[in-house]
Structure 1
């Protein structure tokens, strides 16, 4: 248990004991009756996420309707990205480009003109997302008992490293209307359309990312039975979980795919639209990946029991459920061009949390 986690648990207990305590028969049991106001236990804490992968929301710096220079573009790239739904409209230009291709594979920037780009400003990628793996860590539970029935509990685990799994593929729904010239003569519009590959989240080994999870929990609990009479005492609880993830690290192969996506957008912004259609084609930018996670709050409910060995020592077991969704943002930035590519992902965790420990009352 780190010092940070320890104080996250202890401070609420101290606050509760000094502010909620009242001079009344309800809160003021006679200590000579054997009632112990504080208890602490330790034991394994197992977290089992139940959430489903949710579609990420993706944005790029290329606005719908933005006009981008095509630059030098290979004719093979044009043919690979022709709109299959516009075969009739593209027929005459396709025949002309095949004639040009017999003399040169590259359509020079002086003739390739511009493209009006759409589709990649923002979109959601259905069928993809992230989920968290099960994890077991050392848990600690501290209780302050207002009376024999009601207590305030603070519970947390030593912040474990959690593996994040990926699901599905991410592509960019690119469409464009390209206008070019040949020997200074305007040519018919050619229509382009393709799902440009960004990354396959299931092809990066055991996990796409790791994070250290801080998940302190606080609950008000009601204990059935009576101290000194019932050794076995069930209890129920209701409270709040706070989740914070730091030390986030991306899988290197996923990070490379995201940097490539940054180069793709930078090429469109820098007048090299043809290069943007070639996966992995470098730009003059220097894309860097930034990964962040927001603080999240969730209601939590618990069923558990304690079993007294004697007046001081006891065993405890519980199972809890928290309705928890965390928000993670991935950005690809360049010092000059700003944010090139960003993805906002709701990480649905909804964990079932099992705990078993041995404790001491004082």
Structure 2
């Protein structure tokens, strides 16, 4: 009987030790879940660079645009460097955002749309002990932000404001810091769930080129700087190896 109890105790101790290593140095993990992007957006006034071959470089007062919120599927890959320090790479299916008019452009409603790319690399400090089920963390990282498939879809905006059409759109690419906080809750030595919130202070410049301007069908170029500054929520479920 004593031998049986000793063996049972050893197995239980081994199971606890295995579970204890689920969040310790050398642990890899992967998560997937729901990203919610909530831009705290605003923009500078639209700047007319040139019109039909003539240079202006003039801002149009009381004009602007804003970016609506969007949702997408997210994925992250992580590794515990130590019992408390982990690194994580986050990315997701590029969400599609509607671009709406603001100020005097508000009368046009939706101006166009674009897809956002913002992969991020984070370093996190995990509080409490590796054996604790609930572990909050704070993180700091960097992201690269750019748009694809940007387009103006509002014909009234093109003809009345840009005085032509169609209009092509391009944006620059920006590096930005990521400020992150959240928590994970371990169900067992492999499965866990968590929620994180990130803030990304970032701006991009949109360049618009409109054709068929004036009776000679020339072009016009305008641009606007848009401050995105999104708050990003990531609700996820993960598996630790």
TM superposition score category, shorter chain reference: 0.7 to 0.9
Residue 202 of structure 2: aligned partner = 324
Distance 1:322 1:225 in 2: 26
CA contact (8 A) 2:198 2:232 kept: yes
Q: TM-score, normalized by length of structure 1?
A: 0.56
Per the alignment, in what secondary structure is the counterpart of residue 107 of structure 2? coil
Distance 2:40 2:197 in 1: 14
Residue 203 of structure 1: aligned partner = 107
Residue 155 of structure 1: aligned partner = 90
Tell me whether 1:47 sits opposite 2:37 in the alignment.
yes
Per the alignment, in what secondary structure is the counterpart of residue 255 of structure 1? helix
Residue 225 of structure 1: aligned partner = 128
Q: TM-score, normalized by length of structure 2?
A: 0.82
Residue 228 of structure 2: aligned partner = 349
Larger radius of gyration: 1
CA contact (8 A) 2:112 2:154 kept: no
Structure 2 residues without counterparts, runs of 5 or longer: 1-16
Residue 297 of structure 1: aligned partner = 175
Distance 1:231 1:316 in 2: 11
CA contact (8 A) 2:208 2:222 kept: yes
Question: Deviation of residue 60 (structure 1)?
Answer: 2.0
Question: Deviation of residue 344 (structure 1)?
Answer: 1.2
CA contact (8 A) 2:52 2:220 kept: no
Per the alignment, in what secondary structure is the counterpart of residue 45 of structure 2? coil
Query: Greater share of helix residues, 1 or 2?
Result: 1
Distance 1:141 1:41 in 2: 5
Give the direction of change, closer, same or farther, for the CA distance of 1:292–1:317 in structure 2 (3 Å limit).
same
Tell me whether 1:240 sits opposite 2:240 in the alignment.
no
* Number of aligned positions between the proteins: 219
Per the alignment, in what secondary structure is the counterpart of residue 108 of structure 2? coil
RMSD: 2.6
Question: Deviation of residue 33 (structure 1)?
Answer: 6.2
Question: Deviation of residue 43 (structure 1)?
Answer: 1.2
Distance 1:342 1:329 in 2: 7
Distance 1:349 1:130 in 2: 11
- How is 1:97-246 mapped onto 2 (pairs within 5 angstroms)? 121-169=56-104, 201-205=105-109, 207-228=110-131, 230-246=132-148
Question: Deviation of residue 61 (structure 1)?
Answer: 3.9
Per the alignment, in what secondary structure is the counterpart of residue 43 of structure 2? coil
Question: Deviation of residue 333 (structure 1)?
Answer: 4.1
Give the direction of change, closer, same or farther, for the CA distance of 1:32–1:46 in structure 2 (3 Å limit).
closer
Per the alignment, in what secondary structure is the counterpart of residue 256 of structure 1? helix
Per the alignment, in what secondary structure is the counterpart of residue 159 of structure 1? coil
Question: Deviation of residue 334 (structure 1)?
Answer: 6.3
CA contact (8 A) 2:151 2:168 kept: no
Give the direction of change, closer, same or farther, for the CA distance of 1:224–1:32 in structure 2 (3 Å limit).
closer
Distance 2:65 2:27 in 1: 43
Give the direction of change, closer, same or farther, for the CA distance of 1:338–1:144 in structure 2 (3 Å limit).
farther
